Chain A
């Protein structure tokens, strides 16, 4: 992809558009949320057995204008269900939702959103420009404007040299890029992306990250689901964790990480045989990797005690590092906690 943005996740500047247009009104605190969800739920009924399956428990959530919002959860958690309800592909069983101030039942609410479904499929016999022109016109653009935007976006996602190639000859990664271009070709105010990094190589993932950051810089609200948690951690202002159709938590990535107990990691000379004394065994976890050994101390107050013991045992200390848990670890912990709670609820009193 061309022209990668210089904006970093640590410095998500809200700058004016390159052509001088203002993004005022598209984003900013104090305005209505970009997405407002109140008690939205979905249940599926099997047509023959009438058995009801829960897709989404009543969900209440706001996504603010201009933010990048990560929607996390394991397979079957209800992420795609939520995104499809918001884009009109599924009808909710209960609750309401508004997109940019319009109820989702109105077809016009979809004029200002761009949607990338998971593993997008396209018409085999069309070429890239024809497809982007078609979807841009469906989103309300005029014929000439749609052709111009289609060409520009195809070049932007690195497919400019394949304008006339039919889509059946595109690779999986190229189709994912085309899907992103289709989601953005009409310059939507809200982007809803379902697993946008799915099927991409590391270069493709970097390009998608750059595109999302560029959209944030323009003031576009981005809601995306992903399994690739380092990407979520790098991109998102806030994340929601969804488990078994229930919303577990909504927080900023910083709050999620800072709200957890700190851990100190002590690197010592590797592969040496030693036994951790009983007084420290409960708070120290040993991890051997290659030629080094790390001792993870769950109670930093006991660091002096641990270091004194290491010195007394003549074990060389190579470093002491405070470690923050990754989003992945937090996510796994939340999932385990939820599973534990569910097990307790099922257990008879």
Chain B
């Protein structure tokens, strides 16, 4: 319950931040640009609109995580607003959970707005049957952002905003290629293989959350995929936030 109070406050703070509003507007502009550029897509205008529309959710969301998420806790420490919270009966793990939850809800709201705008454009083009695939893709993109956000919150609790942004970006890029890393590891000597496979296991498996290609063809994914992706995101976020909480618990606030 107390984590929900922190989440509510974080959500309110992030939503009132002009950066978030700017990104929503940027996403809508990008969507409009895809429509203008669609005649150049040689009959693949719809596919281009859906693909770029869904990509904008992921990339703009990542931008929010890198600009807002990586400073979420460190900014509170630097500005000492955290003194007013942790001197109350608020356990530190719940504080971190609340910060993560608040920003994740804000990201989900942005994803929902951009997803709804994309669905509206596609429906106006006479393809209302894309609703299911767009909804699934937006859900998976939100799960992906929740995973990246958990890393940002962890790094933010332990490091400066700049370093947190670099670490988070590193994990994001590594996570995009973790499948390639596994394949590469299978061709390496035993010691290196163990190291690379361990790294691939630590990195988030982000391709699991990417169904843009399916959605741009108007196809649905399986319930098993959605269930697995949801369970994986929940487990990964829980592990990362637990690690963050363990390190944050002993931290001094001078």
Q: Are A84 and B16 in contact (CB under 8 A)?
A: no
Query: In the assembly, what is the distance between CA of A260 and CA of B79, in Å?
Result: 44
- Measured CB to CB, the closest approach of chain B to A191, in angstroms, equals 12
Q: Are A126 and B81 in contact (CB under 8 A)?
A: no
Q: Are B89 and A126 in contact (CB under 8 A)?
A: no
Task: List residues of chain A with CB within 8 A of the CB of B13.
Answer: 123, 125-126
B187 contacts chain A at the CB level, 8 A cutoff: no
Tell me the chain A residues, 271-300 only, with Cβ under 8 Å from chain B. none
Q: Mark A312-333, 1 if CB is under 8 A from B, else 0.
A: 0000000000000000000000
Count of chain A residues with a beta carbon within 8 Å of a chain B beta carbon: 31
Q: Which of A11-19, A109-117, A156-164, A341-349 contacts B (4 or more CB under 8 A)?
A: A109-117
Q: Are B252 and A135 in contact (CB under 8 A)?
A: no
Q: Which of A24-32, A66-74, A87-95, A261-269 contacts B (4 or more CB under 8 A)?
A: A87-95
Q: Are A120 and B90 in contact (CB under 8 A)?
A: no
Contact of B84 among A90, A122, A137 (CB under 8 A): A122
Interface centre among B5, B17, B83 (most CB of A within 10 A): B83
Task: Report the nearest A residue to B8, measured CB to CB.
Answer: A134
Tell me the chain A residues, 99-142 only, with Cβ under 8 Å from chain B. 107-111, 113, 115, 117, 119-123, 125-126, 130, 134-135, 137-140
Task: Report the nearest A residue to B17, measured CB to CB.
Answer: A125
Q: Are A107 and B83 in contact (CB under 8 A)?
A: no
Task: List residues of chain B with CB within 8 A of the CB of A179.
Answer: 84
B253 contacts chain A at the CB level, 8 A cutoff: yes
Task: List residues of chain A with CB within 8 A of the CB of B88.
Answer: 110-111, 115, 135, 138-139
Task: Report the nearest A residue to B95, measured CB to CB.
Answer: A138
Q: Are A89 and B89 in contact (CB under 8 A)?
A: no
Query: In the assembly, what is the distance between CA of A270 and CA of B225, in Å?
Result: 95
- Measured CB to CB, the closest approach of chain B to A198, in angstroms, equals 14
Q: Are A125 and B16 in contact (CB under 8 A)?
A: yes
Task: Report the nearest B residue to A117, measured CB to CB.
Answer: B83
**Interface of A toward B, CB cutoff 8 Å:** 44, 84, 87-91, 107-111, 113, 115, 117, 119-123, 125-126, 130, 134-135, 137-140, 179, 182
**In the A-B complex, the 7 residue pairs with the closest CB atoms:** A87-B87, A115-B87, A125-B16, A117-B83, A111-B89, A89-B253, A138-B88
